[in-house]
Chains A and B, each alone.
Chain A
Amino acid sequence: MQHYNMDLTLKVWRQQNRNAQGGFETYQVKDISSEMSFLEMIDVLNEKLIHEGGDPIAFDHDCREGICGTCSMVIDGRPHGPWKGTTTCQLHMRAFKNGETIVIEPFRANSFPVLKDLVVDRKAFDRIIQAGGFISVNTGNAVDGNAIPIDKDDADNSFAAASCIGCGACVAACKNSSAMLFVSAKVSHLALLPQGAPEKSTRVAAMVDQMDKEGFGSCTNTYACEAECPKEISVMNIARLNREYLASSFNADK
């Protein structure tokens, strides 16, 4: 593809802290290369802001290679921007045209309060994992993983679910701010494997319970989450979560 440079107008959400009133600020950036990543484009703007003695735009980022799930922002109404199956850090500026205006907002959900500008607090996800997103293992010699036979389809589905990077785009995309895609991925990747099976009933109940306590909304199956998920986690996992949850509520021993 032809390389090109572009000038852009950015409307960026600025908010001093959790309790401050936020609002949009407009910035101009010039000579942005089509081969830059979206975050590099913001880096360019931030250097300019720092040079001018201003306050750089706060945004989350870590790996910048699409695996950590840190880079959270909504670009023109799309969490992680317009490309399918792509995180913001992997989104490149060739997705945009010269002269475009881009609106950049934080993930919005009451369960993800804004800390500053585009940075939101996603610890609610950590607490959901703490509630049950693990397996209990006794100490001692590590067991040979390959000694346990696992059905190929189960292994594949488990692996696909495990590719969730916990970014929260599903919550940001959902009109109900529901965390079902995330929780269903975390429930599924363990429930499908023999190592996760012993605790599957208590796990799903505890994680759903924590999800509700954190104030996420309820799923109404609009499937916007699946469309926006950078790891393309399937809503089949949500059906599995519903199934597991129903089964666990019939489990008389729990």
Chain B
Amino acid sequence: MALTGIFLIVFLLVHCYVNANVFFSHGEENFNRAAHFMGTNILVRIAEIGLFAGFILHIIQGYKLELSNRAKRSSKYAVTAGNKTSTWYSRSMALLGTLILLFLIIHLVHFWVPSRFGGLTEVNYDGKSVLNLYGRMKDVFSQEWVIIVYLLGCFSLAWHLLHGFQSAFQTMGWNHKKYTPLIHSMGVVFSVVVPLIFALMPLFMYFGWEIPVGELTLLF
């Protein structure tokens, strides 16, 4: 769980960085070029297989863990301590994970499936034709229900990470007098900032916001 969890956290960082292109002026070209690189570079394509494996492993482990843990107490308590002794999101990792999974399926159908199996228009930069994923984002994020689903996805991710980030270190045996408080704070910052950046993307697209910058910025 911890290893696949950390792996997915690293993926989120990369994904967030590449997509942050869309916030800026020139975002369309920058993002499409970055997406073209991610979609065609052989090393990235190999890493993509690893990413699918990581997700599938994490999800299978997660559900197996949840089911086996649930089976350990057949006779339930009439009264429970609730949030007095643990946080609701630490007890709801499988539920939050399921919401993330539902979001993930919708998300793949929106972007990954058409980029792999066709259905996207192309644009031309310096004689090179690349898929117009930016245009796809504009289309997808013009519908209100999609915005709401994406925001809910980001919320679920935030709560999942709020527990998961620090939990992964504890699982790997890393609890230290000096560094653990730091890990906890880093976890909170990561869990708020990364999902927030993701949540801003559909909003920027829907409202047509952009941050003006002079030159090409976030390529690689």
Contacts and interface: CB of A to CB of B under 8 A. Distances in A.
Interface in A198-236: 215-224, 227-228, 235-236
Contacts of A246: 172-173
Contact of A110 (B65, B73, B77, B174): B73
A211 to B, nearest CB: 12
A220 B78 contact: no
B175 interface: yes
Given A221-B90, A222-B86, A239 B170 contact: yes
B172 A109 contact: no
A103 B173 contact: no
Size category of the B interface is: 20 to 34
A74 B77 contact: yes
A158 interface: no
A249 to B, nearest CB: 12
B68 interface: yes
Contact of B78 (A105, A173, A235): A105
Given A239-B174, A242-B173, A246-B173, A220 B77 contact: no
Interface in B18-63: none
Given A217-B68, A220-B65, A221-B171, A77 B73 contact: no
Nearest to A84: B85
A108 B167 contact: no
A178 B65 CA distance: 12
Contact of B90 (A177, A222, A239, A243): A222
A208 to B, nearest CB: 13
A78 interface: yes
A76 B91 contact: no
Contacts of B163: 221-222
A172 to B, nearest CB: 9
Contacts of A221: 90, 163, 166-167, 170-171
A173 B79 CA distance: 11
Interface in B167-186: 167, 170-175, 177, 180
Nearest to B168: A221
Interface in A73-97: 74, 76-78
Contacts of A22: 75
A76 to B, nearest CB: 5
Given A108-B77, A173-B85, A215 B174 contact: no
Contacts of B87: 222
A110 B74 contact: yes
Nearest to B82: A77
Given A108-B76, A218-B68, A220-B90, A228 B85 contact: yes
14 contacts: A105-B79, A108-B75, A114-B75, A173-B85, A177-B73, A217-B72, A217-B73, A220-B90, A221-B167, A221-B171, A222-B91, A227-B85, A238-B170, A246-B173
Interface of B: 65, 68-69, 71-82, 84-87, 90-91, 93, 163, 166-167, 170-175, 177, 180
